[in-house]
Chain A
Amino acid sequence: KAGVTQTPRYLIKTRGQQVTLSCSPISGHRSVSWYQQTPGQGLQFLFEYFSETQRNKGNFPGRFSGRQFSNSRSEMNVSTLELGDSALYLCASSLGGTSSGNTIYFGEGSWLTVV
């Protein structure tokens, strides 16, 4: 069974540009969430999508957005990139029931460097 797949794995962007990251969840998983990991702030929740609807949102500016498609694949977009957006962006998927405790599986992440 394939795990959570994220593309691209590495990318370099210039300040002011925008970037789109892609995530394919584990087959059958309907919940996809995104996290930002930096040395300074650690792992921070960005947002979660379930059945194409945003179900939870973290404390990030509106430049960070996402969406989920009918096949559960998800994309996140960051517009007007800033140097501080340089981070590892992790996608995670789960079956997505309403109770906590669903095992959450993470992908290997997309390394974004903003120069």
Chain B
Amino acid sequence: QQQVKQSPQSLIVQKGGISIINCAYENTAFDYFPWYQQFPGKGPALLIAIRPDVSEKKEGRFTISFNKSAKQFSLHIMDSQPGDSATYFCAASKDGATNKLIFGTGTLLAVQP
């Protein structure tokens, strides 16, 4: 019930293309869904986050789409750039469990020039 499933495990996209990473969760008590970006040798950094009362959130080239009924959410990276090459993690948490993030397994994104 605490799982967050993430796919694909790895993704290769051409420069300028759209990268799409999907996550699904089971626990309906989750109410906060962040995406983190991690470069080698660095800690994860928050990219964008969404709550279930919103179906979409956009920040620059990054968009989260959220489907509450399907218990799924996805990250779209528009106009992907080589500098976006990193590992992306979706996560979820619930009210009252502030820093207890349940992470997906990660997606290694490679953007080819």
A100/B44 in contact, CB under 8 A:
no
B46/A100 in contact, CB under 8 A:
no
Stretch of A11-19, A65-73, A77-85, A88-96 on the interface side: A88-96
Q: How large is the interface on B (under 10, 10 to 19, 20 to 34, 35 or more residues)?
A: 20 to 34
Number of A-B contacts (CB under 8 A): 78
Q: Given the interface contacts A100-B31, A108-B41, does A48 sit within 8 Å of B51 by beta carbon?
A: no
- Which residues of A lie under 8 Å from residue B104 when comparing CB positions? 42
Of the A-B pairs whose beta carbons lie under 8 Å apart in the complex, a sample of 12, sorted by A's number, is A42-B104, A42-B106, A44-B103, A48-B100, A56-B99, A92-B43, A92-B99, A100-B95, A100-B97, A100-B98, A103-B46, A106-B44
Binding site for B on A (CB under 8 A): 4, 31-33, 35, 42-45, 48, 50, 55-56, 58, 90, 92, 94, 96-109
